Structure 1
Amino acid sequence: MTTSPRSVGRPSTRVLTEERILTAAFRLSAERTPRQFTMTALAESLGVRTSALYHHFESRDAVIRAMRGRISRDLATPEPGALPLEDALLAWAHSYRDATIAAPQAMVMLATSPIDADEGSFADYEQIARLLADDGWPTDTIVDAIVALESFIIGSALDALAPADNMSPGDLAPAYPTFAEAERARARLSSDPARRTFEIGVRALIHGLTAWARAERASDATA
């Protein structure tokens, strides 16, 4: 009895892995609305049956959590004590903005989805919380500060996707001369006005939050 020789070389189809699914999920998020982002659509983009996805992720929400976790793992979150607090928060904010710009449509979806059980996000939040706690911030100010920063960062990243002249009044400039001149002055200062605006805003926000938290600490100490 003869047997057919065993085939050698790579399999005809790529092995389905969590990382391959997540890469496809980010790609799909750029092509579809959040409502169109379904397990069926994701499976079709990978050329597999929908049931194959459930060997790796139990639901659409689980895929979204993993996407957010991948972004969080790539953030440059400084170790406690490595930098002065405001510098550490600024480095984290820039890293977060860059990650959001790289996957803007995904971030809109991720920002409105539950993050429970997403270890990547909570590991990042834990690191930022430790930075603030080590600086003596009152515990009840920490989450408010993180959410305020996160909201500004995501909004600024979406602003970066707009045309550089999106604030120009154009033909309406004569009717609004003060604003038009201010917009022209801004454009003259930078070829990337959105990044300049982010830098101004995030520094002001970090400085203001730091002053607020220290005032809260002083108030608690005298209460």
Structure 2
Amino acid sequence: MAVSARRGAPLTREEIYAAAWRLIDADGVEGLSMRKLAAELDVNPMSLYHHVENKTALMQEICLRVGTQLAPPPDDGLPWQDQIRALGDAYRELARRHPSLWRYVFNNPEVMSTRRGGMWDVLHRLLRLAGVPEEDVPRLAEILSSFVSGFIFSESTGGVRPDAWDDAVTLLIGGLEAYTGR
């Protein structure tokens, strides 16, 4: 790792991601540039490229990291309906804490191209618990994710009132109950 003459300390990937995340939360994704990030870290912009391929790769990693903040419901024996509601609440809360980053993910789904791990594993488990046939789990997970994401997007743009969330989740759960006959 090269040491910047200005900084006097080696630059790390962790430092880059943390600074980029701060800039995104403060100024939005559109306000992030590699030059601004370099200025924030007091390094030459080219120094960043020793650690990160480009802005797209940087955004992919930040999106994966924000996903680790999701607090999914534990597998604690509560009815699947309660756990689905808790998962939806956690996802919505995460989107509200990082609205610019969430809108970026919503508009650039390729940054979250993997549909496994974290939230996806929990959602798949809950769909199985609800009685969804194994072959239908991935497809229904995509549908539910799209439904919840669409609601959150509409809520963030004023298209739907925030107090409609509970009704939306109740409809989602009712639809799953009808689908599985449970």
TM tier relative to shorter chain: 0.7 to 0.9
Q: Measure how far apart 1:198 and its partner are.
A: 0.9
Map of 1:98 onto structure 2: 93
In structure 1, the residue corresponding to 2:117 is in which secondary structure?
helix
Distance across 2 between alignment mates of 1:62 and 1:105: 17
Map of 1:83 onto structure 2: 78
Amino acid at match of 1:52: S
Distance across 2 between alignment mates of 1:143 and 1:20: 35
Distance across 2 between alignment mates of 1:27 and 1:153: 26
Indicate how the Cα distance of structure 1 residues 32 and 142 shifts in structure 2: closer, same or farther if over 3 A, else same: same
Distance across 2 between alignment mates of 1:127 and 1:99: 16
Map of 1:188 onto structure 2: none
Amino acid at match of 2:171: A
Indicate how the Cα distance of structure 1 residues 44 and 127 shifts in structure 2: closer, same or farther if over 3 A, else same: same
> 1:13-92, aligned counterparts within 5 Å?
16-30=11-25, 31-32=27-28, 34=30, 37-92=32-87
Task: Give 5+ residue unaligned stretches, structure 2.
Answer: 1-5
Amino acid at match of 2:146: S
- Cα pair 2:70 2:94 within 8 Å, conserved: yes
- TM-score (norm: length of structure 2): 0.74
For this pair of structures, how many residues does the alignment match? 173
Map of 1:142 onto structure 2: 137
- Cα pair 2:29 2:101 within 8 Å, conserved: no
Aligned pair partner of 1:123 in 104, 117, 123? 117
Q: Measure how far apart 1:45 and its partner are.
A: 3.5
Aligned pair partner of 1:204 in 171, 174, 177? 171
Amino acid at match of 1:141: D
Distance across 2 between alignment mates of 1:38 and 1:74: 24
- Cα pair 1:39 1:53 within 8 Å, conserved: yes
Indicate how the Cα distance of structure 1 residues 33 and 61 shifts in structure 2: closer, same or farther if over 3 A, else same: closer
Indicate how the Cα distance of structure 1 residues 51 and 99 shifts in structure 2: closer, same or farther if over 3 A, else same: same
% of aligned pairs identical? 26
- Cα pair 1:43 1:50 within 8 Å, conserved: yes
Amino acid at match of 1:147: E
Amino acid at match of 1:208: G
Q: Measure how far apart 1:208 and its partner are.
A: 0.8
Amino acid at match of 2:98: A
Task: Give 5+ residue unaligned stretches, structure 1.
Answer: 1-10, 168-192, 219-223
- Cα pair 1:65 1:110 within 8 Å, conserved: no
Amino acid at match of 2:164: T
- Cα pair 1:97 1:157 within 8 Å, conserved: yes
Amino acid at match of 1:18: R
In structure 1, the residue corresponding to 2:71 is in which secondary structure?
coil
Q: Measure how far apart 1:159 and its partner are.
A: 4.5
Q: Which aligned runs of 4 or more in structure 1 are off by greater than 6 angstroms?
A: none
Q: Which moved more, 1:128-137 or 1:96-105?
A: 128-137
